[in-house]
Structure 1
Amino acid sequence: MKRNVLIIGAGGVAHVVAHKCAQNNVQLGDIHIASRTLSKCQAIIESVHEKGSLRKPGLLQAHQLDAMDVEATKFLIRATRSQIVINVGSPFLNMSVLQACIETGAAYMDTAIHEDPAKVCEAPPWYANYEWKRRQACKEARVTAVLGVGFDPGVVNAYARYAIDSYFDSVDSIDIIDVNAGSHGRYFATNFDPEINFREFVSTVWSWENNSWKANQMFEHRKEWDLPVTGKSTTYLTGHDELHSMSQNLGVPNIRFWMGFGDHYINVFTVLKNLGLLSEQPVRTARGQEVVPLEVVKAVLPDPASLAPGYTGKTCIGDLVKGSKHGEPREVLIYNVCDHEESFAEVGSQAISYTAGVPAVAAALLIANGTWDVGGMVNVEELDPAPFIALMNRMGLVTRARHDGQDYVVDPQQQVVERSSTDKVVNSR
């Protein structure tokens, strides 16, 4: 049994993680939040108290930390007696925080692949460039490290594993579809860190086609999907974190990621890119000051966390899996719908942060009780998805499946699914 959690980061996802850890502090114990900006950590703690999220009275403490400093991070892990570290800071921090966990024995989690600030869209598979190089070190130290356990990556990886195991004899393709049909009312904003958001799209985007990597340009391939609740939405083929592990671990020949974009987003993005304002390379101004254009754009755009109070609408994210069962072709959509206003009412967050933060805490609970405490480095699709999906159902992210004319809540631990139009249950297999 592991207890006491150190949350690294103080952005929108960290906000949700703190609330959800507080709701489950009976199992998780003390909660610590660390960031370079102490005031942001303190603001999250104030929100937790205002919402009454603490399940029982307990320690909830803020700390100032430069998580790039391995020694300082090690010191804080030991000082707080944290046995679980949830890294929801910038992906630039992953390797330093991971190293601190390896050296202290704390379990490690993150929600995105590590990034080098000087490199964009490196050659795949991205995990092999960074995290996977520490696999042996995790194994030798018996440190559990669960990589990419937000929603995408994270939940969609678990959906893929669950679909393969429960609905198919063989799988030909997985299309991950991410649609945000909400509205924040601002002229232009990103739903998470603008710097990380733009870096995903400014260069080559990679898809997994016929068991090999295929290079594409952003907005080169477009497809319309008719999804539950959010309806018909235009999406674009995009490179994304989960493809880089799922392609290596699932044995599926075609895995693609599609994200919804409106015309306005594309127009603004295109102008910023063509002007060079999305470059990660420094330039010198007329006054002789060196600046990174992408960091300047980030500085002038709204903080994603500030979007939550006025956000309306819903998200739909899931996996459309195609293959065969008993020799017959089969298609299953396994998905979640999240409401921006409901997320704000519960924890003061918009749905994008909510969908990323809840899974990280679900994973922390599974590590705490030993279910996912595997003593090594894994991606989510390498773990049993059933307890993860069942736990998220109770924590606010309900998993549904649609196939053969049915649409129902998935309850993997009972091996049954509940149809939305009747009280009857049917076996998911």
Structure 2
Amino acid sequence: MKKNVLIIGAGGVAQVVAHKCAQNNDLLGDIHIASRTVSKCDAIIASVHEKSAMKVDGVLQGHALDALDVDATSALIRDTGSQIVINVGSPFVNMSVLDACIATGAAYIDTAIHEEPGKICETPPWYGNYEWKKREICAEKGITAILGAGFDPGVVNAYARYAIDTFMDTVTAIDIVDINAGSHGKYFATNFDPEINFREFTGTVYSWQSGAWQENEMFEVGHDWDLPVVGTQRAYLSGHDEVHSLSANYPDADVRFWMGFGAHYINVFTVLKNLGLLSEQPVTTAEGLEVVPLKVVKACLPDPASLAPNYTGKTCIGDFVKGIKNGQPVEVFVYNVADHAEAYAEVGSQGISYTAGVPPVAAALLVADGTWDANAMKNMEELPPAPFLTQLDRLGLPTRVKDENGDRPWNA
């Protein structure tokens, strides 16, 4: 049994994590939030109290922290008695926070693959470049490290495992589809950190097909998907974290990730990219100032957290999984639909942050009660999915299944 949670990061996803931890602090214990800017932690704490989210009286405290400093992070873990660390900070800090957890024995949970600021879209498999290099030491020291426990990656990995285990003897294809059919009312904005958002789409699109890595350009391959609630939506083959672990665990299946984009987003993105404004490499202005164009664009765009009050519409994210059962082809869609306005009413964040922030809390609860306290490094599809999907149902992200037998709750 583990308890006391340290949340790394204080953005929109961290706000959701804090609210959900507070709603379950009878099980999770003390809650601490750490960021470079402690005022952001304080704002989250104020929002938790405004919503009366604490289930029982307990510790909810903010801390100033440079999470790139392994010693400082280790000291904070020890000082707060935190046995579970939920890292929803920038992917740039993943390896530092993981090292601090290894040093202290705390369980580690993150929501995305580590990135280096000066590199974009490295050679696959991306996990192999960073996190997986710590597998042996996690196993030797009995450190629980759960990688990619957001929605995608995260929930969609669990959906794949559930669909394969439940509906088929062998799997032939996993197509992950992420659609945001909502509207934030701004001329242009990204739903999470603009720097991370743009970095995902400026490099090579890697998918796993026919037992090998396939390379495409962003927006080169599009497909119209007929989805529950949000209807037919155009999505494009994109590179994404979960492809890199699912392809390792299901090498005989084609694994692809598709994300929905409207024509306006594609047009603005293309102009910014062609002008060089999405580059992660520094340039020098006429005044002799060295700036990173991508960081300048980020500074000019709306803070994703500011979108929440006026966000309307829904998201639909899920897996189309194909395989063979008793010699016959089968296909199932395992999915969730989330509502932006409902998310804002509950936790003060928009739906994208909600879908990303609820799953790591579900994972933390399973670590806390021992169900997922694996004493090793695991990607989400390597853990039993049913307890996780059960927690998601309880926490506000219900799972549904659609196939030839109809559309129904996953456990119906």
Q: TM-score under structure 1 normalisation?
A: 0.95
* Mapped pair 1:197 → 2:197: yes
Match in the other structure for 2:58? 58
1:197-237 C-alpha deviation (Å, 9 max, x unpaired)? 00011111100001110111000001000100010100000
Match in the other structure for 1:47? 47
Q: 1-side partners of 2:196 and 2:252: how far apart?
A: 28
Aligned length: 412
Q: 2-side partners of 1:108 and 1:194: how far apart?
A: 25
Whether the 8 Å contact between 1:311 and 1:340 is mirrored in structure 2 is yes
Match in the other structure for 2:276? 276
Q: Which runs of 5+ in 2 are unaligned?
A: none
Whether the 8 Å contact between 1:182 and 1:311 is mirrored in structure 2 is yes
**What is the letter of the counterpart of residue 378 of structure 1?**
K
> Any residues of structure 2 matched to 1:131-280 within 5 Å, and which?
131-280=131-280
Secondary structure at the aligned position of 1:242 is classed as helix
Secondary structure at the aligned position of 1:226 is classed as strand
Which stretch of the first structure deviates more once superposed, 400-409 or 147-156?
400-409
**What is the letter of the counterpart of residue 125 of structure 2?**
P
> Any residues of structure 2 matched to 1:288-307 within 5 Å, and which?
288-307=288-307
Q: 1-side partners of 2:272 and 2:88: how far apart?
A: 27
Secondary structure at the aligned position of 2:183 is classed as coil
Match in the other structure for 1:9? 9
Q: How far did 1:405 drift?
A: 4.2
Match in the other structure for 1:34? 34
**What is the letter of the counterpart of residue 318 of structure 2?**
G
Q: 1-side partners of 2:221 and 2:237: how far apart?
A: 5
Q: TM-score under structure 2 normalisation?
A: 0.99
Q: 1-side partners of 2:260 and 2:89: how far apart?
A: 24
Q: 2-side partners of 1:394 and 1:77: how far apart?
A: 28
Match in the other structure for 1:109? 109
Match in the other structure for 1:371? 371
**What is the letter of the counterpart of residue 241 of structure 2?**
D
Secondary structure at the aligned position of 2:201 is classed as coil
**What is the letter of the counterpart of residue 382 of structure 1?**
E
Secondary structure at the aligned position of 2:10 is classed as coil
Q: 1-side partners of 2:81 and 2:395: how far apart?
A: 26
Secondary structure at the aligned position of 1:33 is classed as strand
Q: Which runs of 5+ in 1 are unaligned?
A: 412-416, 418-429
**What is the letter of the counterpart of residue 194 of structure 2?**
P
Secondary structure at the aligned position of 1:118 is classed as coil
Secondary structure at the aligned position of 1:360 is classed as helix
**What is the letter of the counterpart of residue 297 of structure 1?**
V
Q: 1-side partners of 2:278 and 2:111: how far apart?
A: 23
Q: How far did 1:369 drift?
A: 0.3
Q: How far did 1:325 drift?
A: 1.2
How many percent of aligned residue pairs carry the same amino acid? 70
Match in the other structure for 1:312? 312
1:1-23 C-alpha deviation (Å, 9 max, x unpaired)? 10100000000100000000000
Q: 1-side partners of 2:323 and 2:268: how far apart?
A: 38
Whether the 8 Å contact between 1:111 and 1:154 is mirrored in structure 2 is yes
Match in the other structure for 2:130? 130
Q: 2-side partners of 1:322 and 1:20: how far apart?
A: 34
Hey, which bits of structure 1, 4+ residues long, moved more than 2 A?
A: 250-253
Secondary structure at the aligned position of 1:10 is classed as coil
Q: 2-side partners of 1:251 and 1:267: how far apart?
A: 35
1:88-111 C-alpha deviation (Å, 9 max, x unpaired)? 000000000000000000000100
**What is the letter of the counterpart of residue 8 of structure 1?**
I
Q: How far did 1:327 drift?
A: 1.4
Q: 2-side partners of 1:175 and 1:8: how far apart?
A: 31
RMSD: 0.6
**What is the letter of the counterpart of residue 31 of structure 1?**
I
Match in the other structure for 2:285? 285
Whether the 8 Å contact between 1:161 and 1:250 is mirrored in structure 2 is no
Q: How far did 1:250 drift?
A: 2.3
Q: 1-side partners of 2:205 and 2:324: how far apart?
A: 29
Q: 1-side partners of 2:16 and 2:242: how far apart?
A: 22
1:41-64 C-alpha deviation (Å, 9 max, x unpaired)? 000000000001100111000000
Q: 2-side partners of 1:253 and 1:6: how far apart?
A: 37
Q: 2-side partners of 1:24 and 1:65: how far apart?
A: 25
Secondary structure at the aligned position of 2:171 is classed as strand
> Any residues of structure 2 matched to 1:285-364 within 5 Å, and which?
285-364=285-364
